[in-house]
């Protein structure tokens, strides 16, 4: 059976751990050359080395998604090493808990810089790189773009922005005839390092995790592999008629 991403060059941001690392691993299984972009360069190198040890094509690169020059440098490096990118996954993100009343503007801007500015800069840079050949951009949003949590206002707003940005950019590229498909992916809860960090200062973490699991009609949280499979679908030719779509993978969380 032909591999679904055979020979494609993919850049995955925030892929030194969590969902990004799982997406990178899934892509190389399907034949892609994957570049892991992350500010945690040592971790990114480790993930890339582990993938290469398994016989896959993977490299690492330092990428600060909130910095426009970092994006330009990353894409130039990828192009020089492997050729222009065919797939971008804007996965890098940070989370924090806080309501409208107890979220500082400094924290608000920190979340927006990574979660929303990073997607804007990455999408813009990738379009410039892909417009003559086409490609696929997958923006990792969240169920928090669709349903609210009063205690995560900055995160929710940033992910809602990713949803709207995706739709606007997707329609633009379609009407320009670029052959670039842009879609957003909306995972339910997956117990990654980001969740652990966001809840690190709470003393009720076991109860919180139990309540999160109960909120999914399927009776559990998701796995990184399940989200990676959805990202693979959006990146592949199987999603050729999906433009500006929001793919929800959440165990039924937003259905009730």
Which residues pair with residue 135 across a beta bridge? 180
Distance between CA 139 and CA 150 in Å, rounded?
A: 24
Q: What Cα–Cα distance (Å) separates residue 120 from each residue in 112, 117, 167?
A: 11, 5, 12
Phi, psi torsion values for 83, nearest 5 degrees: 105, 175
What is the residue extent of each domain of the chain? 9-194+223-249
The second-level CATH assignment, the architecture, of 9-194+223-249 is: 3-Layer(aba) Sandwich (3.40)
Residue-level pLDDT, tens digit, the chain, 256 residues:
579 999 999 999 999 999 999 999 999 999 999 999 999 999 999 999 999 988 889 999 999 999 999 999 999 999 999 999 999 999 999 999 999 999 999 999 999 999 999 999 999 999 999 999 999 999 999 999 999 999 999 999 999 999 999 999 999 999 999 999 999 999 999 987 777 676 767 778 788 888 888 999 999 999 999 999 999 999 999 999 999 999 999 999 999 9
pLDDT given at position 185 = 98
Positions marked active-site: 155
Q: What does the pLDDT read at residue 192?
A: 77
Q: Is 198 exposed, middle or buried (0-12, 13-18, 19+ CB in 10 A)?
A: middle
pTM: 0.94
């Amino acid at each position: 059976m032909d591999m679904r991403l055979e020979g494609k060059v993919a850049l995955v941001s925030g892929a030194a751990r969590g969902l990004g690392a799982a997406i990178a691993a899934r892509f190389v299984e399907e034949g892609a050359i994957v570049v892991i972009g992350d500010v945690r360069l040592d971790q990114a190198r480790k993930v890339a080395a582990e993938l290469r040890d398994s016989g896959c094509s993977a490299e690492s690169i330092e990428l600060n998604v909130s910095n426009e020059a970092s994006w330009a440098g990353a894409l130039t490096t990828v192009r020089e090493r492997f050729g222009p990118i065919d797939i971008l996954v804007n996965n890098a993100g940070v989370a924090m808990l806080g309501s409208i009343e107890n979220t500082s503007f400094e924290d608000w801007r920190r979340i927006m810089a990574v979660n929303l500015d990073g997607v804007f800069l990455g999408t813009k840079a990738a379009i410039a790189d892909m417009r003559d050949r086409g490609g696929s951009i997958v923006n990792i949003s969240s169920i928090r773009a669709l349903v609210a949590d009063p205690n995560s206002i900055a995160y929710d707003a940033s992910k809602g922005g990713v949803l709207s940005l995706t739709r606007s950019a997707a329609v633009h590229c379609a009407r320009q005839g670029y052959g670039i498909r842009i879609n957003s992916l909306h995972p339910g809860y997956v117990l990654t390092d980001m969740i652990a960090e966001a809840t690190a200062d709470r003393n009720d973490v076991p109860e919180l995790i139990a309540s999160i699991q109960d909120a999914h009609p399927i009776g559990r949280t998701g796995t990184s592999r399940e989200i990676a499979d959805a990202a693979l679908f959006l990146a592949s030719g199987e999603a050729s008629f999906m433009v500006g779509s929001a793919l929800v993978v959440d165990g039924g969380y937003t259905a009730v």
